[in-house]
């Protein structure tokens, strides 16, 4: 297939080009006879990669399943998700991970799967997983030592174990910072809530990411309840500086049914489901003159792909034919396919809309409908 139009090419920015591809990009030309010509106001960007997603599925399919999560992702321009292991069953055994990998074969976009900390690290190391997720409670488990010794990527939820005990108001920033002192090796620190966390991560030789909700929201009720907690306004404002130094932006898509989020605040589950928000939000910042297009591509595509060690995130020969097409358009955010039909970001004003998503060289979303494209495990 050949697509022509205004494309983002590394080192050249936005230029008129023709991209020839099947499942991978074969040629990048200045001109060609195209099969598809983009509208003059559309931009062909490298496919967005979301490092941190709770697809749910398995025993939690009532909250979200592979089809609903990855359809929502395609609608939001995401071409690959990294699925977290806190499912039911928990993904810290070879048997559970194998079950999850089989389930993810129904994904409508590309994916990777993380395992949890457990007693089968050697078996898990031999499986096609992206790495391990280290939660606060894992920092006290003896099995963590085997995971720290693994050469695979580790994703750190930056809080210490006692963050999970007592009132949420006691989940202070120092607990987030302290958790980084308890790990070593190839670590990526996810959903950093403060500028200091990103700085400490980089000072420790780790990479780091941010979420839109930690930049934009304050915790007022269960719809805003998330872990780590949303910080005060001063901390949130300072976190914006990290958009220019962090390696990635992620959604931390964590869906729950609307009735679960209406429970009493003390017992309702934490999590915001907005995987389709991240890409239009970041490109809105480009159209508003806040971020450069180069920086946006680094946060959404190149940075997360590099962290995962994948040949994705660029429009170049030999890279995966995963693309996100966006155009400048004012609209207010709403979800489309997730079972978590309400988010605290609903109605947020955006200046960028995803008009097409390509996965494995095929149209997964055409601006109006998601198609059952079969994604692949990018680690396999």
Provide the annotated active-site residues.
252
Task: Report how far residue 124's alpha carbon sits from residue 112's, in angstroms, rounded to the nearest whole number.
Answer: 14
Cis peptide before 89 (omega within 30 of 0): yes
Task: Report how far residue 2's alpha carbon sits from residue 28's, in angstroms, rounded to the nearest whole number.
Answer: 10
Tokens of 213: 């909700």
b or e along 283-317 (b: 16 or more beta carbons within 10 Å of the residue's beta carbon)? bbbbbeeebeeebbbbbbbbbbbbbbebebbbbee
Beta-carbon neighbour count of residue 238 at 10 Å?
13
What residue has token string 């050249």?
A: 12
Beta-carbon neighbour count of residue 348 at 10 Å?
19
Tokens of 323: 């693309």
Task: Report how far residue 197's alpha carbon sits from residue 177's, in angstroms, rounded to the nearest whole number.
Answer: 6
Secondary structure of 305-342 as H, E, C letters: HHHHCCCCCCCCCCCECCEEEEEEEEEECCCCCCCCCC
Tokens of 364: 């997964």
244 dihedral zone (left: phi>0; alpha: psi -120 to 50; beta):
alpha
Tokens of 365: 């979303």
Tokens of 212: 């839109």
Task: Report how far residue 175's alpha carbon sits from residue 169's, in angstroms, rounded to the nearest whole number.
Answer: 12
Name residues whose C-beta falls within 8 Å of residue 257's C-beta, 6 or more positions apart in sequence.
62, 63, 339, 340
């Amino acid at each position: 297939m050949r697509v022509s139009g205004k494309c983002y090419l590394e080192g050249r920015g936005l230029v008129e080009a023709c991209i020839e591809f099947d499942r991978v990009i074969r040629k990048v030309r200045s001109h060609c006879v195209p099969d598809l010509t983009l509208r003059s106001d559309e931009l062909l960007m490298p496919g967005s990669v979301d490092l941190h997603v709770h697809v749910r599925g398995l025993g939690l399919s009532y909250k979200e399943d592979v089809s609903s999560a990855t359809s929502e992702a395609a609608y939001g321009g995401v071409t690959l998700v990294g699925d977290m292991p806190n499912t039911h069953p928990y993904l810290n055994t070879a048997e559970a991970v194998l079950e999850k990998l089989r389930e993810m074969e129904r994904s409508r976009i590309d994916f990777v799967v993380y395992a949890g900390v457990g007693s089968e690290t050697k078996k898990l190391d031999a499986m096609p997983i992206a790495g391990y997720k280290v939660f606060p409670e894992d920092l006290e488990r003896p099995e963590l030592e085997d995971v720290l010794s693994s050469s695979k990527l580790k994703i750190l939820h930056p809080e210490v174990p006692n963050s999970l005990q007592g009132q949420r108001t006691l989940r202070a920033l120092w607990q987030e910072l302290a958790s980084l002192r308890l790990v070593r090796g190839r670590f990526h620190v996810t959903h950093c809530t403060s500028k200091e966390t990103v700085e400490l991560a980089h000072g420790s030789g780790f990479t780091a990411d941010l979420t839109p909700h930690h930049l934009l929201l304050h915790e007022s009720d269960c719809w805003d309840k998330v872990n780590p907690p949303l910080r005060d306004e001063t901390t949130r404002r300072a976190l914006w500086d990290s958009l220019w130094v962090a390696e990635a932006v992620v959604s931390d898509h964590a869906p729950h049914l609307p009735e679960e989020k209406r429970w009493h605040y003390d017992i309702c589950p934490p999590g915001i489901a907005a995987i389709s928000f991240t890409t239009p939000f970041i490109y809105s910042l480009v159209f508003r003159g806040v971020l450069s297009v180069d920086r946006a591509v680094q946060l959404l595509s190149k940075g997360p792909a590099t962290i995962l060690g994948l040949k994705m995130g660029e429009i170049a020969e030999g890279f995966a034919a995963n693309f996100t097409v966006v155009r400048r358009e004012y609209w207010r955010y709403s979800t489309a396919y997730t079972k978590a039909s309400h988010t605290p970001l609903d109605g947020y004003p955006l200046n960028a809309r995803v008009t097409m998503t390509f996965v494995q060289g095929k149209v997964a979303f055409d601006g109006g409908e998601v198609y059952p494209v079969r994604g692949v495990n990018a680690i396999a």
